[in-house]
Amino acid sequence: MRAVRYIMAGAALLLATSAIAYQASSNQGYRYRWKDASGQSYFSDSLNTDALKAGYDIVNAQGMVVRHVDRQLTADERAAAKKLADQQAAAKAIADQRARDDAQMLNAYPTEQAFAAARQSQLDNYHQAVGTTQINLRGQEKTLADLLNRAGDLERAKQPVPPYLTDRINEQRATVSGLRTTLQRQQASEASAKATMEADIVRYRQLKARADANGG
């Protein structure tokens, strides 16, 4: 948080300088106070590089501190402060979006039963896609087996396997391999959707209980 404070201090520097310049024209006494590395205090009615590097206090005519201005940031510190500010802004944006999503979910599904039914419908779609791919894969595997049997019969009969059959076997192998990859992906998506559904229902219960407790 110090890095963020440094950024704010830099922005406030111009305002502080203008304000004290006005005070200097209407009051008497020291206007700036700072300390060096050894802890020695200095007072002046104008800012200098030492004060800017060390950070300084702005004092009124009675010597009372009215504001403290942190030292100037180095290039590395400014970069680090900007990075931190960007990270905090990104985290806030994510949190705000999550809050909007939660509110939309509660508005769309007033009861846990309605919410669970909607999630189950999504899960059923995943399951149906897996089933369809499994049926298709079994058919394509059978076609590949038939082609391989034909090629095997020719080889056992000491006859050459024609190029078109070899090409057909290679194409069918690629089709089967692609379907197997698709099936694995769909099964992983179904498992993930099931786990997400369970977690979402738990979160729905928490949000619903909180909203009910707050009279929402």
Same domain, 40 and 123: no
**Residue 77's pLDDT is what?**
85
Domain for residue 99, yes or no? no
Same domain, 26 and 119: no
Q: Which residue do the tokens 């896609």 mark? A: 129
**Residue 160's pLDDT is what?**
95
**Residue 132's pLDDT is what?**
98
- 194 class by beta-carbon count within 10 Å (0-12 exposed, 13-18 middle, 19+ buried): middle
Listed as ranges, residues in the chain with pLDDT below 50 are: 1-4, 6-9, 11-27
Domain for residue 85, yes or no? no
Boundaries of domain holding 132: 109-213
- In sequence order, the 6+-apart residues with CB closer than 8 A to the CB of 20 are 31, 32, 58
**Residue that finishes a domain, picked among 73, 94, 122:** 73
- In sequence order, the 6+-apart residues with CB closer than 8 A to the CB of 52 are 71, 72
Same domain, 27 and 120: no
Domain for residue 84, yes or no? no
Same domain, 205 and 128: yes
Please give the Cα distance from 11 to 69 (Å, whole number): 10
Instruction: Report which residue type is found at 181.
Output: T
Same domain, 117 and 209: yes
Count of domains in the chain?
2
Domain for residue 92, yes or no? no
**Residue that finishes a domain, picked among 24, 46, 73:** 73
**Residue that finishes a domain, picked among 26, 48, 73:** 73
pTM value is 0.53
**Residue 168's pLDDT is what?**
97
**Residue 29's pLDDT is what?**
55
Please give the Cα distance from 216 to 208 (Å, whole number): 9
**Residue 30's pLDDT is what?**
57
Same domain, 64 and 117: no
Provide the 10 A C-beta neighbour count for residue 148: 14
Please give the Cα distance from 21 to 158 (Å, whole number): 106
Provide the 10 A C-beta neighbour count for residue 56: 26
Same domain, 113 and 206: yes
The count of C-alpha atoms lying within 13 angstroms of the C-alpha of 211, restricted to the half-sphere facing its C-beta, is 17
Same domain, 67 and 154: no
**Residue 162's pLDDT is what?**
96
Domain for residue 97, yes or no? no
